[in-house]
Amino acid sequence: MPERVGEPVIAPFGDAALLVTFGDRADPDLTARAGALARLLDERRPASPAVGRAVPAHATVLVPFDPLAMDATAAAELVRHAVGTMTGASGSDAAGDLIDIPVRYGGSDGPDLEEVAERHGLSAADVIDLHAGARYRVLFLGFAPGFAYLGGLPDAIATPRRLSPRERVPAGSVGIAGEQTGVYPLSMPGGWNLIGRTDAVLFDPLRADPALLKPGSAVRFVPAR
């Protein structure tokens, strides 16, 4: 049981959502708390139909609500009550399958690999070893259908987002942004540094379980050649 951290800040985010903030950094315990609150709020939705689907992230939960059915004060009260009943979730509580993702690193599949390597004074092979050598955990999903934010990127290859996003990134591209790594589930615009590409299907809306990666899943990248 982790040490109890302070109460989250609950603030309106526009007229139809609250942003619940547990902290200002990417931290496994804060992410676990955000995830636990989101699950709790989702469980309570049948009793509070004016509350929408909660969206957890590193240290926050977005809580949409229908402002014509519930005011922001009542929504905040509901969140505060849920926080009060949360048990002490921590990052190490999460358990899930180990999912291997085969990746072709570099070349046209990973056009930013060399740039990432240069930035850190490493060779491309070093970046691949570091990226494929680490175990990752799914923190939350967002950004695109089935896109999982993964914790566990080695600090040595953490790289800021590109200054201006690309208009089109191919599906399956594996990227780095800040301290995160992830796989683009579909072809879309994006600002991550692309280091490789996989053929794994990360999202299929017709599957009973549409997303391959879910919060808690453990993930490993395996060089495909």
| Residue whose C-alpha is closest to residue 202's, from 101, 91, 56, 121 | 101
Q: Give 3-state DSSP helix, strand, coil % of the chain, rounded to 5.
A: 25, 30, 45
Q: Kindly calculate the radius of gyration of the chain based on its CA atoms and give it in whole angstroms.
A: 19
* Residue 17 contacts other proteins per CB under 8 A: yes
Q: What is the crossing angle of helices 72-84 and 28-43, to 10°?
A: 110
* Residue 140 contacts other proteins per CB under 8 A: yes
* Binds other proteins by CB under 8 A, chosen from 36, 40, 59, 75: 59
Integer angstrom CA distances of residue 149 from 117, 136, 146, 176, 179: 22, 9, 10, 10, 10
The alpha carbon of residue 66 and the mean position of all alpha carbons in its chain are separated, in whole angstroms, by: 25
The values of phi and psi at residue 183, to 5°, are: -120, 125
Tell me how many residues contact other proteins (CB under 8 A).
57
* Residue 208 contacts other proteins per CB under 8 A: no
The values of phi and psi at residue 31, to 5°, are: -65, -40
Extract the tokens encoding 22: 């547990």
* Binds other proteins by CB under 8 A, chosen from 105, 136, 147, 184: 147
Choose the stretch contacting other proteins; rule: CB under 8 A; options: 75-83, 88-96, 130-138, 178-186. 178-186
| Residue whose C-alpha is closest to residue 149's, from 115, 126, 116, 183 | 183
* Residue 11 contacts other proteins per CB under 8 A: yes
Q: How far is the CB of 12 from other proteins (least distance, A)?
A: 6
- Nearer Cβ to other proteins, position 53 or 123? 53
* Residue 164 contacts other proteins per CB under 8 A: yes
Choose the stretch contacting other proteins; rule: CB under 8 A; options: 79-87, 110-118, 173-181, 217-225. 173-181
List residues near other proteins by CB under 8 A: 11-17, 19, 21, 24-26, 38, 42, 52-62, 64, 67-68, 71-72, 140-147, 149, 160-161, 163-165, 177-178, 180, 185-186, 188-189, 191, 203, 205-206, 210-211
